[in-house]
Amino acid sequence: MRESELIADICKHNAELAACGGAEVLLAPGDDMALVKLAGLRVLVAADQVIAGRHFAAGTPMDQIARKALARNISDIAAMAGVPACAVATVALPAAMPDHEVRALAEGLRAAALVFQCPVVGGDIGTHAAADGALVVSVSVLAEPGPTGRVVTRAGACVGDLLCVTGTLGDGWRSDGSGRHLSFTPRIAEALALVEALGDRLHAMIDISDGLARDAGHLATASGLAVRIDGAQLPCAAGAGWQAAVGTGEDYELAFACAGQPPSSVAGTPVTVVGRFQEPGGARVSVCIGTEEHDVSALGWEHG
Amino acid sequence: MRESELIADICKHNAELAACGGAEVLLAPGDDMALVKLAGLRVLVAADQVIAGRHFAAGTPMDQIARKALARNISDIAAMAGVPACAVATVALPAAMPDHEVRALAEGLRAAALVFQCPVVGGDIGTHAAADGALVVSVSVLAEPGPTGRVVTRAGACVGDLLCVTGTLGDGWRSDGSGRHLSFTPRIAEALALVEALGDRLHAMIDISDGLARDAGHLATASGLAVRIDGAQLPCAAGAGWQAAVGTGEDYELAFACAGQPPSSVAGTPVTVVGRFQEPGGARVSVCIGTEEHDVSALGWEHG
């Protein structure tokens, strides 16, 4: 079963959440983060993990693994235009992991917390029964809405809205495990600047973790629309073609829907118009290359 | 390296947290939960995990695994006298796990959320590279202080305070993986009732996840004291001797320090006085059996 199917299955039960008691759930599973209300205060919350052999290759330095585990979550905060508040982490260690590597992992989380201004305030350290059990680092983050109070979701794109992206695409993850996914800077500042600059013209947003085709598809689906990408406009990273730019995961740039032209850059990062939202029907996500239109609705990165 | 050593190492750096930005950290790593301040609101946050082969045996039904993963966290909320708000979860699945088991795990989390009144509002589903990778379920919870606003920590026990426990001890975890750890009810109602009944006489509290010897030791250490347990008073579960009652992990009862006598029961659960806090010096935690005093400071359950 693919993650997306299971998530769809879980989201079917969102109506139950209200019956659960506990916090009021303002935004349930299905977006980059959930939004809950605690004693009148809106809090964003999300969890994400990295698994050895899936999200990082054997031999990746511990500080880079720790950084990525936190950065993935910070990128989800950016997608909602939130501001990081704090994080908690659990780590499941291979039984044979030497002490100096465990310490390096803890140091790496601490260093990343400083960089991303998101203190790691608690968690749990466990050990696999197996000497070679796969290292799993799971991080949960809390965030607050930014200064305007606006939380931007995946839903809300309108027909005619422009699909825009920050930065460059296609070099997040390489098949050997290298790539920007180990060193990217989540686009918190860019997201807050977009809210500030575009105001109500910013209709929907997501971070590109599964590839632009899939993530623009998430925007389209949540908004009940289709989206057409202009292949010639894609800000391809050096060495990346259009397929890599829309199909590679882990770019951790922002994709957003906006009414009218966006600024050409925000917080020092270029912004590129790469497509347009349109009425549903035909391909949910397509890429136009010259006169050809490629259906890429099924393309993209499933982490598994 | 044992978990306790690493946590001690991590706690050394708690002063750094303030420099991190993000939320104000009112209570840093080292207690059952962290306490942070978000826009003036105090929020409790914690994370805990269950790992196949460590926290549950092969063949344990998925709904019990899911329940335990959430219940462990709810027990941490009880330890602070908090009220559950919401949870997020990540699961790392063996690649060969059949779909119906994945669905049973998701169903189990949903069912547990209803029981514990703690909606699971988000998370991530990942798959190990290995067919037989160990299932890891990591859950993070948010909680609010109870109606009185009081948050009870591990620190604060005074010389002469009574060490008290709820329920019975020693049958949480059996060597074959069975035991109450798969079915216990976290002591949320009991904790809130203790705050109500004892007021300022309730000095410190913890949940018993590592065995009473170790967890009473945490109270003693956090309070700068020693604690002496009267073996004859221990409310041993059927079939459990005093060693099991103080040494077995995963009872998930509450242990607390109180000035003067506690009520004999709270929220329908018996309360037993089992010891007394005293000046440090000699054994940090001891158990008196007749005229013999056993140093059990090094006893107890390290999950690994």
Q: Give me the amino acid identity at A229.
A: I
B162-295 has the same fold as B3-145: no
Structure tokens at A162: 């422009």
CB-CB under 8 Å, A134 with B47: no
Contact A81, A146 (CB under 8 A): yes
Q: What pLDDT is attached to residue A149?
A: 96
Count of beta carbons in the 10 Å neighbourhood of residue A19: 10
Average pLDDT across chain A, whole number: 93
Strands A24-27 and B226-230: unpaired
Residue A8: pLDDT over 90: no
Average pLDDT, chain B: 93
Nearest-Cα distance to chain A for B220, in Å, is: 21
pLDDT for B184-216, tens place per residue? 999 999 999 999 999 999 999 999 999 999 999
In this prediction, what percent of chain A has a pLDDT beyond 90? Answer: 84
Q: Is B117 helix (H, G, I), strand (E, B) or coil?
A: coil
Q: Identify the CA nearest to A124 among candidates A91, A98, A97, A96.
A: A91
Which secondary-structure segment (H or E) carries A198? helix A188-198
Q: Does B20 touch chain A (CB under 8 A)?
A: yes
Q: Which CATH superfamily groups domain B162-295?
A: PurM-like C-terminal domain (3.90.650.10)
A13 against A94, higher pLDDT: A94
Residue A213: what pLDDT? 96
Task: Using a CB–CB cutoff of 8 Å, tell me whether B153 touches chain A.
Answer: no
Domain boundaries, chain B: 3-145, 162-295
If you average pLDDT over residues A263-272, what whole number do you get?
98
Q: Which amino acid is at B297?
A: S
Kindly identify which residue of chain B lies nearest to residue A144, measuring between CA atoms.
B38
pLDDT at B303: 46
Average pLDDT for B235-255? 94
> Residues 66 to 85 of A: which have CB under 8 A from any B CB?
84-85
User: For the purposes of burial, counting CB atoms within 10 Å of the CB of B292, is it exposed (0-12), middle (13-18) or buried (19 or more)?
Assistant: exposed
Task: Note if the pTM is more than 0.90.
Answer: yes
Residue A300 pLDDT grade (very low, low, confident, very high; cuts 50, 70, 90): low
Using an 8 Å CB-CB cutoff, list chain A residues near B86: 22-23, 25, 34, 36, 45
Q: Is A197 on the interface with B (CB under 8 A)?
A: no
A169-205 pLDDT, tens digit per residue, is 998 888 888 889 999 999 999 999 999 999 999 999 9
Cα-to-chain-centroid distance, residue A156: 18
The DSSP secondary-structure symbol of B108 reads H
Q: Would you state the pLDDT for residue B301?
A: 53
E strands along chain B, which residues?
Answer: 24-27, 34-38, 41-51, 82-93, 120-127, 136-145, 162-166, 202-207, 226-230, 254-258, 265-266, 269-278, 285-289, 292-295
Closest to B32 measured CA to CA, from B302, B285, B252 = B252
By three-state DSSP, how is residue A152 classified?
coil
Q: What is the pLDDT of residue A12?
A: 73
pLDDT reported for residue B61 = 97
Find chain A residues with C-beta within 8 A of B189's C-beta. Answer: none
Residue with token string 């054997």: A58
Interface contact A24, partner B, CB < 8 A: no
Pick the CATH number of A3-145 from 2.60.40.10, 3.10.20.30, 3.30.1330.10, 3.20.20.80: 3.30.1330.10
Q: What is the amino acid identity at position B214?
A: R
pLDDT at position A178: 85
Residue A21 pLDDT > 70:
yes
Read off the pLDDT of residues A90-112 as tens digits, 9 standing for 90 and up: 999 999 999 999 999 999 999 99
Question: Quick one: closest CA in B to A13, which residue?
Answer: B110
Look up tokens 């329920």; give the residue: B167
Whether residue A15 lies within 8 A of chain B, CB to CB, comes out as no
A47 → closest Cβ in B20, B106, B122: B122
pLDDT of residue A301: 53
What residues form DSSP beta bridges with A93?
A127
Question: Between chains, do A53 and B89 touch, taking CB under 8 Å as contact?
Answer: no
